[in-house]
Structure 1
Amino acid sequence: MILIADSGSSKTDWRVIHQDGSISQFRGVGFNPYYQSSEEMEKEMRQEFLLSISAVTKEIYFYGAGCSAAERKAEVSRALATIFPHATITIDHDLAAAAHATCGHEPGIACILGTGSNSCDFDGEKIVATRPAPGYILGDEGGGAYVGRKLLRDFIYDDMPKDIREAFVKEFGLTQEIIQDHVYRKPYPNRYMASFCKFITEHSNHPYCYSLYYESFLEFFEKHISRYQDFRSKPVNFVGSIAFYNSTILRKAAYDQGLNIQKIIENPIAGLTLYHQNKL
């Protein structure tokens, strides 16, 4: 039995390839070893679905946010090993998942726009270049936490249009104090800030909300895509909920910058499942 995971900071998609070729799936919380210890991840992995298959899982392929450095991969591997003591565990970066799922065996630029953001230049076989990914405090341009932070900042400074502010207050009933408590005192502020993107997307026909995404996407292009060699001649692909549910704005921003967007998918788990089925 093979277990595949595609994990971001907000959620993890799990797929099981059974010996007879059938597939089962489960969606759970996200993990990121930059912000969580192996003990914290292991605690959250103790979910009924995973515990029910722990004894029979022989191979695990975990693709995750924050899993580029060896020490971070080791953190995730330790957490998984406590739940799956009999499995061979392979940890890879979420960029590899994005590249395999969108580029296949063809060259291209693969990007992630979910809670956070990231990108890579893929030559059809391997990742040949990446950009820095400093996280939600210093980077993550275009990602959910980045866009949500802009919204919350404008709310606190009273820099948003009156009608959007009224709709925001009616839906969430927030105050500056509540927001700051979540951002500075409670765990996973990146998830909290990204959670407001649903509101922004629902109101994306409003020029203010449209601009929040449009300008953030332009910043992503400038910090990431434009830094790769021959970027205008390569197909650019995206995975992630922010890209998927705001694809019209993303494609317009890319068109205005002369970029060639090819695929935009919500998550790469289906492509990863096909990729690993030949392991049986």
Structure 2
Amino acid sequence: MILIADSGSSKTDWRVIHKNGEISQFRGLGFNPYYQTSEEMAMELQQDFLINLQSEIEKIFYYGAGCSAPERNREVERALHTIFPEAFIAVDHDLAAAAHATCGHNAGIACILGTGSNSCDYDGNKIIDTRPAPGYILGDEGGGGYIGKQFLKDFINSEMPQEIYEEVKEKFSLTANIIQEHVYRQPFPNRYMASFCKFISEHKSNPYCYGLYYQSFLDFFDRHVKKYKNYESKPVNFVGSIAFYNSDILRKAAMDSNIQVNLILESPIAGLTLYHQEKL
């Protein structure tokens, strides 16, 4: 049996291709070797779904955030080997997942807009160019952490509409001290900041909330997509919850930036399943 994983910082989608061709799936915690050790990831991999498959999995294809350097990939491999010691394990970047799922064997630009953000130029066979992705402090334009960070900064500085300020203060019992505690002292501040995107999306009829997404997407296009050669003539594809649930704003920002948006998927896992089924 084959196990496929698409992992972001917030969640992991798992799919199993059984020997009879059937597919089963599971959603669990996200992983990122930039922020977690192999020991920490191994602890979080102790999930019933995976443990029950321990003796049956022969191959694992893991695509993950933070898996762009060999030493990080080895951290993930070590964690997976604690549960699947006999399995063949291949770890690749989440950009490869986005490219395989959205472009298939065609050329295009593949982008990730989830908790974080990233992009690549794909020739139909391999990634030929990428942009720096320095994480939630120095980058992640268009991602949930980037948008949530701006939202929280505006809350702290009272630079959002009063009705939004009062609602978020009451709904989350929010104060500047609580925000700073989560951002500077608690683990996974990127997840915390991105968690406010659900509220922002629910209020995107408000010009302020709409504008947070719109400007963030423009920032992403300027910092990523427009840096690729001949970007105007290439289909641009997206995976990730931020892109999927705010596709109307994303398409408007793209149109205003002379960018051709093609597919927008919440998750690449279905496309990855088809990709690996072809290899059986």
Could you tell me the TM-score, scaled by structure 2's length? 0.99
> What displacement does 1:279 show?
3.6
Q: Which residue of 2 aligns with 1:6?
A: 6
CA distance in 2, matches of 1:17, 1:177: 47
CA distance in 1, matches of 2:277, 2:101: 14
CA distance in 2, matches of 1:110, 1:89: 24
CA distance in 1, matches of 2:258, 2:118: 20
Alignment of 1:100-111 (within 5 A): 100-111=100-111
Q: Which residue of 1 aligns with 2:134?
A: 134
SS at match of 1:83: coil
Deviations 1:164-219 (A, max 9, x none): 11111121111111111111111000000000000000000100000000000000
SS at match of 1:71: helix
Matched, 1:273 2:273: yes
Q: Which residue of 2 aligns with 1:26?
A: 26
Alignment of 1:201-240 (within 5 A): 201-240=201-240
Matched, 1:120 2:120: yes
SS at match of 2:106: coil
> What displacement does 1:278 show?
3.0
Aligned length: 280
CA distance in 2, matches of 1:141, 1:41: 26
> What displacement does 1:277 show?
1.2
Matched, 1:260 2:260: yes
The amino acid that maps onto 1:267 is S
CA distance in 1, matches of 2:136, 2:84: 31
Q: Which residue of 1 aligns with 2:175?
A: 175
CA distance in 1, matches of 2:18, 2:263: 29
Alignment of 1:146-157 (within 5 A): 146-157=146-157
CA distance in 2, matches of 1:187, 1:45: 18
Deviations 1:219-255 (A, max 9, x none): 0000000000000000000000000000000000000
CA distance in 2, matches of 1:54, 1:200: 40
Q: Which residue of 2 aligns with 1:41?
A: 41
Could you tell me the TM-score, scaled by structure 1's length? 0.99
Alignment of 1:66-85 (within 5 A): 66-85=66-85
CA distance in 2, matches of 1:228, 1:277: 31
CA distance in 1, matches of 2:279, 2:54: 19
CA distance in 2, matches of 1:255, 1:264: 15
> What displacement does 1:74 show?
0.4
> What displacement does 1:86 show?
1.2
Q: Which residue of 2 aligns with 1:17?
A: 17
Q: Which residue of 2 aligns with 1:163?
A: 163
Q: Which residue of 1 aligns with 2:145?
A: 145
CA distance in 1, matches of 2:247, 2:55: 41
The amino acid that maps onto 1:198 is K
Deviant stretches of 4+, over 6 Å? none
> What displacement does 1:40 show?
0.5
> What displacement does 1:55 show?
1.2
SS at match of 2:66: coil
Deviations 1:22-58 (A, max 9, x none): 0111000000000000000000000010010011110
CA distance in 2, matches of 1:261, 1:278: 27
Q: Which residue of 1 aligns with 2:243?
A: 243
* Unaligned runs of at least 5 residues, structure 2: none
SS at match of 2:160: coil
Deviations 1:70-108 (A, max 9, x none): 001000000000110110000000000000000111100
CA distance in 2, matches of 1:228, 1:279: 30
CA distance in 1, matches of 2:32, 2:96: 16
CA distance in 1, matches of 2:204, 2:70: 40
The amino acid that maps onto 2:70 is A
SS at match of 1:104: coil
The amino acid that maps onto 1:192 is Y
